[in-house]
Amino acid sequence: MSILKGKKGIVFGALNEASIAWKVAELCAKEGAEIVLTNAPVSARVGQTAELAEKLNAPLNYADVTKMEDLETLVSESMDKLGGKLDFVLHSVGMSLNVRKKKPYTDLNYDWMHTSMDISAMSFHRLMQTLYKADAMNEWGSILGLSYIAAQRTFPDYNEMAEAKSLLESIARSFGYHYGKAKNVRVNTISQSPTKTTAGSGVGGFDAFFNYADKMSPLGNASAEACAEYCVSLFSDYTRMVTMQNLYHDGGFSNTGISMDLMDSFSDEALGK
């Protein structure tokens, strides 16, 4: 069964084979969708998006999510290339300048923070406003962003990205209301487990982060492939009434107080007390 047969969409953020968006793009194509791939112009130098475009026979339009005109061109050219309005869009974009430049949370550079919020969160609004004004989405379409549980709880090394993800999730709720009323378009965020990607690995102490979450989650960490499956289900017609949600895709991490695996490592015996 091809659950996206006849559907058209745009996939942002497939930088390399490890990217969550890479797996989503592959699965969308496998499930019968036609897609346009997009990424930041600078990614042409450092990423492999063009290889994926060739492999999937998908058009590739570079666009910087901080630039309104880039998004307007992307949306109108995508509709031209796909021959109609869109059924789904994946916003799989995130970048923190303060994290990249190793600034601690208590010594943030605010110009960089501005840029981080712009790329990682405001761009979700900018994208949806562009789609909305161009009337680019079909009725019952689906728009997804990717988030992380640091939006709700403190993970010290996640730094300013915690604020970016809180804003991203809030935008999903607020725009989800307006898009739902106007066009029956649904808007959600998926709160994904730590995943070994370029963006993920940029967070300080990522290996500890990853292993801790894996031991806390009864099902273990959700992989990028599993995230792609969840994304595709949310693009499909089987989830038409799901909107304005932040959906945890984390193997049960978010509702686990402590796992037996971690309990064992904190016994007096394990601690040598």
Ligand X SMILES: NC(=O)c1ccc[n+]([C@@H]2O[C@H](COP(=O)([O-])OP(=O)(O)OC[C@H]3O[C@@H](n4cnc5c(N)ncnc54)[C@H](O)[C@@H]3O)[C@@H](O)[C@H]2O)c1
Contacts with ligand X by CB under 6 A lie at: 13, 15, 19-21, 39-40, 43, 64-66, 92-95, 119, 146-148, 192, 194-195, 197-200
Reading the block at residue 129, the tokens are 């406003």
Contact 164, 91 (CB under 8 A): no
Closer to ligand X by Cβ: residue 196 or 273: 196
Indicate the residue whose CB is closest to ligand X: 200
Closer to ligand X by Cβ: residue 10 or 33: 10
Closer to ligand X by Cβ: residue 183 or 230: 230
CB of 64 to ligand X, least distance (A): 5
CB of 199 to ligand X, least distance (A): 3
The CA–CA distances, whole Å, from 138 to 84, 88, 117, 171, 179 equal 9, 9, 28, 20, 11
The CA–CA distances, whole Å, from 271 to 211, 234, 264 equal 19, 44, 10
CB of 50 to ligand X, least distance (A): 12
> CA–CA separation, 64 vs 214, rounded Å?
33
CB of 169 to ligand X, least distance (A): 11
Closer to ligand X by Cβ: residue 134 or 157: 157
Contact 71, 63 (CB under 8 A): yes
Reading the block at residue 5, the tokens are 């047969």
CB of 93 to ligand X, least distance (A): 4
Closer to ligand X by Cβ: residue 158 or 179: 158
CB of 77 to ligand X, least distance (A): 16
Closer to ligand X by Cβ: residue 183 or 211: 211
CB of 82 to ligand X, least distance (A): 20
HEC-encoded secondary structure of 42-70: CHHHHCCHHHHHHHHCCCECCCCCCCHHH
Contact 164, 116 (CB under 8 A): yes
Closer to ligand X by Cβ: residue 122 or 137: 122
Closer to ligand X by Cβ: residue 198 or 233: 198
Count of CB atoms within 10 A of residue 103's CB? Answer: 17
End-to-end CA distance of the chain: 57
Reading the block at residue 235, the tokens are 């693009």
Q: What are phi and psi of 75, to 5 degrees?
A: -65, -45
24 CB-side CA count, 13 A: 32
CB of 74 to ligand X, least distance (A): 10
